[in-house]
Amino acid sequence: MKKKKWGAIVVIALLFAAALVWRLFFAAEEATVDATPLSVTVQEVRTRDVAVPVTFSGNVEGTQSAVISSTASGRVEEVLVEDGTYVHAGTPLLRMDDVAAKNAVRSAASSVRQAQVKYENDRTAYDRQQALYDQGAVAVQQLDAARTQMLVAASDLETARAALADAQKQVADACVVSPVDGFVANRKATRGQILSSGDAAMTVEQMDDVYVTC
């Protein structure tokens, strides 16, 4: 009975020893650390400005613009520019029908010639009356009448010349030009359109200073 007891104690001791060895062995395996060095790449951190594009829809307009209109009423014969065309001061923008104006020039020029002839004849007649009056051959009333007729003829000549100048101006105004340097915008005039005096045909935008409308 005593031998069986010691036998059991020996078996238990062996099992305990085996468990202790097993525990120590696997604990050592778990504690083993891989000493292989790791490869590490180091980069310098730098800051820089990043442009972020932002898109808006809008219109770019000049702070100053010239409204283009015809000084005379009539039909648009030709439009010479488009929106976006860059023009200089004096550049033709559109032409109005100038047939009537040219006819008026011819008529006024004829009136000037006739008035010129009449004035020259009346002046000659006055000079003749002056000479006769100086000789005592005619009365002062005749001299005054000749002088009055000459002055009327001179006035008629000036009126005819003014009418000719006005007709010539109408021909010149039939060609509408830009008063400033800039870009054509808001073109409304079209060929064949009837424009009244002062009607806006387009604008010319001066782009030295601009603003944007969204």
User: Which residue positions in the chain have pLDDT lower than 50?
Assistant: 31, 33
The 8-class DSSP code of residue 82 comes to -
The DSSP H or E segment spanning 103 is: helix 99-134
pLDDT (tens digit per residue) in 174-197: 999 999 999 999 999 999 999 998
| DSSP structure string for 107-173 | HHHHHHHHHHHHHHHHHHHHHHHHHHHHTT-S-HHHHHHHHHHHHHHHHHHHHHHHHHHHHHHHHHH
Identify any residues that bridge with 176 across adjacent strands, giving them in sequence order.
94
**Cα distance between residue 80 and residue 94, in whole Å:** 5
Of the candidates 72, 94, 76, the one whose C-alpha atom is nearest the C-alpha of residue 85 is 94
- The 10s digit of each residue's pLDDT in 102-124 is 999 999 999 999 999 999 999 99
Confidence at residue 177, expressed as pLDDT on a 0 to 100 scale = 96
d(CA 116, CA 154) in angstroms, rounded, equals 8
- Note the pLDDT of residue 168: 96
Q: What is the pLDDT of residue 47?
A: 72
Q: Quick one: pLDDT at residue 188? A: 94
pTM: 0.62
User: Can you give the pLDDT at residue 59?
Assistant: 61
At 124 the pLDDT is 98
Q: Angle at which helices 99-134 and 140-173 pack, to 10 degrees? A: 160
Torsion angles phi and psi, residue 135, rounded to 5: -90, -5
For 12-78, give the DSSP string.
HHHHHHHHHHHHHHHHHHHH----PPPP-------------------EEEEEEEEEEE-SS-EEEEE
Secondary structure letter of residue 214 according to DSSP: -
pLDDT at residue number 49: 72
